[in-house]
Each structure stands twice: as C-alpha cells, then as structure tokens.
Amino acid sequence: MAETAAEDLVVETKQLTKIYQNRQIALNDVTLKLERGCVLGLLGSNGAGKTTLLRLIIGLHHPTAGLVKVFGRPMGANTADLRRRIGFIPTNPRFPKGMTPITYLDYMAKLFGLPRDVRKPRLASLIRAVDLLGASASPISTFSTGMTARLAVATSLINDPELLIWDEPTHGLDPEARRSMLDLIKNLSKEKTLIVSSHNLGDIDEVCNHAAVLSNGHLIYSGPLQDLKGRMRRNHYELDLEGEQKAVARALQGVKGLGEVKHASLQHRRMTVQLQDDVAAAPAMAMVLSAVDEARVGLVGVRSVGQQTEEAYLDLVEKEEQRGFTRIYRQAA
C-alpha cells in the first residue's frame, strides 16, 4: 500500500514471524500495512499462514519475532482495550448450545461493559440486521450453518468495533446465505475497516479493494486488488461474433494476419485474441475490430479477460513456487 502516516494505519506488522514448537515456520518476515477504510482480502491456500496472521493481529498468539501494531499501539497479551475495538469471527464459530441469540448477545455485551440502556437497543438492532428476529428465542443448538454464521456476525458487531477481522465468513454457507453475507460486508465497508480471509476468490473479488497473498508463510503480494488483477494477461480479449461460420473463419484469418496479434483462436463464434506484449491495446484492438468488420461479421460484444482475481492469484503463487524451487536448487548446488 502507499506510504501513509502512522496515525492513519489501523494495522501494521513489521517482520512478523511465528514459529511453532521451534520448527514449524507458520509465518516468515511479514510486513503489512492496513489503512483506515480498506477492505483487505487475505488470500492463501491451507497452511499458508492466514489464520496465524489474524490471530497475531488480535493478540491471541505471541509472535516469535517482529511486531504487530493496531491503531498505532503494539498488540500484546495485556492490551484488552485494543481488542475491544476489534470484531473477530473465527473459522467455524461455536456457541453455547443451551443459550438463545438474545441471551448470548446480552451476555457478550455485558462482558464489554455496555450499560443496559445501550445493550437493549443494540441487541434489537443487530438481531434484525442479521435476520434472526424470528429465531431470537430459539436455542442456538437448533441453528443451521447459515444462522450460526449470522449470529457470529452479530457477536462481532456487539461492541461497535472499528476493525472487523473475519476468517472464512462464507465457509459452508449455501448460495443464499453467502449472498447475504457478501451484501452485509459491502454495507459495513462504508464505515468500517475489514480484513476478510477466504478461499473463495470470487468473494474477495466482489467485496475487497485491497489484497494480501500468503504462500508458505511468506507475504508475496500486498496492495490494491486491481493492481494484483492487472499483473497478468493484460492483452487478452474475447469477441462474441455473429454471422455465417465461414465468414467468422475468414475474420479469424484476418486477425491472425495482423502483426499486433500474438495468438488468436475460435470456439464456435467466440474469438479469443492475445495481443503482442509490447503493443498499445487501443490501436491494436481497433485493427482487430476492423478485420472483423471487413469479413462482414457482426460484433455482439468484446471484453478483456484474464483479469480475474483467481487467475492473478494462481499466477502469483506459481511464480513464487518457481522462485522457491530455484532457491532450494541453488542451496543444494
């Protein structure tokens, strides 16, 4: 992320390292900055270090080396006042089965020291916001996965935190519940700073504006999500065409004959065009469209492809793994 004054940073880590049992390196030299108003998508495969990083940020784990600052102050075991400003949802949250949403949320609000005149309206507002009003007096043991996830959201918001840290909030949800969760994140992002960890790259693509990518405990990317997506395949396009198949085939040959085109292929009436790496996209695509028009083929639509978060993420991880292999090979040599 861009250089920012320290007072504007919600989270800052410096050379953060966590080693378990003196041998398992879960996190290695991670330096990260999170500005106010950011919605950070934390990406990485299983074992990449995502949950370890989140637990270090909220002070549940102690770093082996390095530093975590939250709201400009070092996070540690005795900084409960900092944790009160954070709303956390772990992966697969668990709740006391014998309690109801109202009794549990009221209990949590009391732990935060909220007076009764604040607790009562806030509980009512949260219960409605997460659509649990009809089940507010039902035992939590009867809840579905989606209802449990919504209760976790309400719990993380009970203290009106400035920073939300949600670990896999859409995990195990059906499509309707997942959609509700993403809509809620979008609404909260208007006034909160969020860190959202997810395996679903489509979710990150939809709700986040920044990304941090972990691979084997290393931070291999941190910055705007758009920059991550723009790292690869900038000059790939798809054209949806209409017309006789012979005319479409002629259009393909005309496009292939352009010096600005590196590769072109056709599947039914969808043409995929890859431009040369060093050409300007706008004039080159103008020539492609002219070749299509000369073949008397109609153009239904054109779009840039290869800019999705999933493809950029996989490309980034693949390159990091190749660098890792090279380092190991050189060490062995």
Residue 193 within any structural domain of the chain: yes
61 plus 109 within the same structural domain: yes
Are residues 206 and 248 located together in one domain of the fold? no
Q: For residue 59, is it within any domain?
A: yes
Q: Does 171 share its domain with 241? A: no
Query: Of the residues 199, 229, 259, which one is the last residue of a structural domain?
Result: 229
Instruction: Let me know whether 299 and 157 are in one domain.
Output: no
CATH code of the domain in which 272 resides: 3.30.70.100
Tell me, yes or no, whether 216 and 249 share the same domain: no
- Residue 134 sits in a domain whose CATH number is 3.40.50.300
Per-residue DSSP letters for 294-324? HTT-EEEEEEE-S-SHHHHHHHHHHHHHHHH
Does 191 lie in the same domain as 163?
yes
Helix (H) or strand (E) holding 68: strand 65-70
58 located within any domain: yes
Asked if residue 140 and residue 59 are part of one domain, the reply reads yes
Domain that holds residue 268: 236-304
Residues 134 and 50 in one domain: yes
Domain assignment of residue 314, yes or no: no
Residue 45 confidence (pLDDT): 83
Element (H, E) at 239: strand 236-242
Say whether both 165 and 285 belong to one domain. no
Answer yes or no: is 327 within a domain: no
Q: Answer yes or no: is 288 within a domain.
A: yes
* C-alpha triplet 170, 174, 175: angle, nearest 5°: 90
Identify whether 267 is part of a domain. yes
* Residue 254 is assigned to a structural domain of this protein: yes
Of the candidates 174, 206, 229, which is a domain's last residue?
229
Residues 224 and 95 in one domain: yes
Query: Do 28 and 55 fall within a single domain?
Result: yes
Q: What pTM, to 2 d.p., does this model score?
A: 0.73
Structural domain count, the chain: 2
Q: Based on the fold, state whether residues 140 and 210 are members of the same structural domain.
A: yes
Distance CA 228, CA 317 (A): 12
DSSP single-letter state for residue 173: -
Q: What does pLDDT average to in each consecutive run of 10 residues of the chain (333 residues)?
A: 63 95 90 95 89 93 94 87 92 90 94 92 92 92 92 94 94 87 92 91 88 91 83 75 93 95 91 87 93 94 71 72 52 48
